[in-house]
Amino acid sequence: MNTTTVPETEPFIETVGLKTHFRTPRGIARAVDGVTIQIRRGQSLGVVGESGSGKTVLSRSIMGLLPRNGVIREGSVRYRGEEIGNRTPKEMRSVWGREMAMIFQDPMTSLNPVMKVGKQVTESLRLHLGMNAAEASEVAEKIFRDVRIPEPSRRLNQYPHELSGGMRQRVMIAIAMACGPNMLFADEPTTALDVTVQAQILELLSEQIHDRNMSMLLVTHNLGVVAGYTDEIAVMYGGKVVERAPTKVLFDNVKMPYTEALLQSIPRLNQPSHSRLAMIPGRPPDLVNPPGGCRFAPRCAYARDLCRNEEPPLTIAETPDHTFACHFPVGSPEYLERKVEISRRAGSTGGDN
């Protein structure tokens, strides 16, 4: 890795037309089908989508963690200006842990059940930073304190099953942060946790990111999670990015009907009780035989013939740094027309914004 400092405005990590296809018995599954994103130094990007949208595969593709066989890759991935998309796992090993780290959804299965948690942290320290056992132990304890694990020296000698879910996730964060990486991939980090703990963990992540000037790619299916904790949001559907904007802009000025539907499906505290939760009908598209045209069209309440025939191009919105892919976005005349029809048919339900 070259050590020239990259100016703040240049993308720290970016993908151009990244495609990850898997060979399956049924055919080729196009999990990630042409994704172009950039993340700047110290910036965090939330990638949101339902299961099957390709968001997890995206994060693993960027990091290079795919299985060895049956995978077809196209497009480029650049880290600090250098192409890493075509590197072998062996070559990537010097990057993993040291410059890039990943945390997973379920800390119970992601931590080695028969190894003390302290050792799981010191392992990286000794390998990448060349520390000896004593030094590594000290540093590990300090990191445990940073991630707010109470009684850190005692915890170092415990096994994962002796810790609570929230603490296990903190351990995973500690492992990720151990060598001071520049880039963190967080794959549904709070999904397996209690609601009360989720906010704590997100706060912790946010703090760490800012303190260390790290970039983060946060993958989740829950828009509520990214709302307060990411700088930008990219919405994925069927292997493609269908909308991208800075967080506030997205919430204020959503363009793509799918994103709008996602926003609406978040239960809100100020809804009258017993409101029916708005769901998006239908199921995610088949990745082996995706529908022609816009992939969301079969489930979109506002879809027209054009949507089913032609894939919508990436359009730049009037709000800054905002792109989306839709023929008839939110607010357009065709959209409003359809919306009136829907309201008339359904009547109003309590809780409509």
Binding residues for another protein, rule: CB under 8 A, are 22-24, 29, 31, 51-52, 56-57, 60, 63, 65-71, 89, 92-98, 100-102, 104-106, 109-115, 123-124, 127-128, 159, 161, 172, 175, 187, 287
Q: Computed from CA positions of residues 89, 15, 266, 345, in that sequence, does the dihedral angle turn out positive or negative?
A: negative
User: Pick from 224, 162, 228: which is nearest to 195 by CA?
Assistant: 224
Cβ distance to another protein smaller for residue 241 or 303: 241
Secondary structure of residue 18 in the 3-state scheme? strand
> What are the structure tokens assigned to 182, written together?
């520049």
Secondary structure of residue 73 in the 3-state scheme? strand
In angstroms, what is the minimal distance from the CB of 212 to another protein?
Answer: 17
Rounded Cα distance, 224 and 266, in Å: 7
Cβ distance to another protein smaller for residue 6 or 65: 65
In angstroms, what is the minimal distance from the CB of 52 to another protein?
Answer: 6
In angstroms, what is the minimal distance from the CB of 26 to another protein?
Answer: 9
Cβ distance to another protein smaller for residue 105 or 208: 105
Cβ distance to another protein smaller for residue 131 or 199: 131
In angstroms, what is the minimal distance from the CB of 206 to another protein?
Answer: 21
Cβ distance to another protein smaller for residue 168 or 322: 168
Q: Which residues does 231 contact at the CB level (< 8 Å), separation at least 6?
A: 43, 44, 45, 246, 247
> What are the structure tokens assigned to 152, written together?
């850190």
In angstroms, what is the minimal distance from the CB of 112 to another protein?
Answer: 5
In angstroms, what is the minimal distance from the CB of 334 to another protein?
Answer: 33
Query: In terms of DSSP bridges, do strands 215-220 and 183-187 run parallel, antiparallel, or are they unpaired?
Result: parallel
Q: Residue 173, CB half-sphere, CA atoms under 13 Å: how many? A: 28
> What are the structure tokens assigned to 54, written together?
């390709």
Cβ distance to another protein smaller for residue 90 or 276: 90
Taking residue 315's Cβ as centre, other Cβ atoms within 10 Å add up to 15
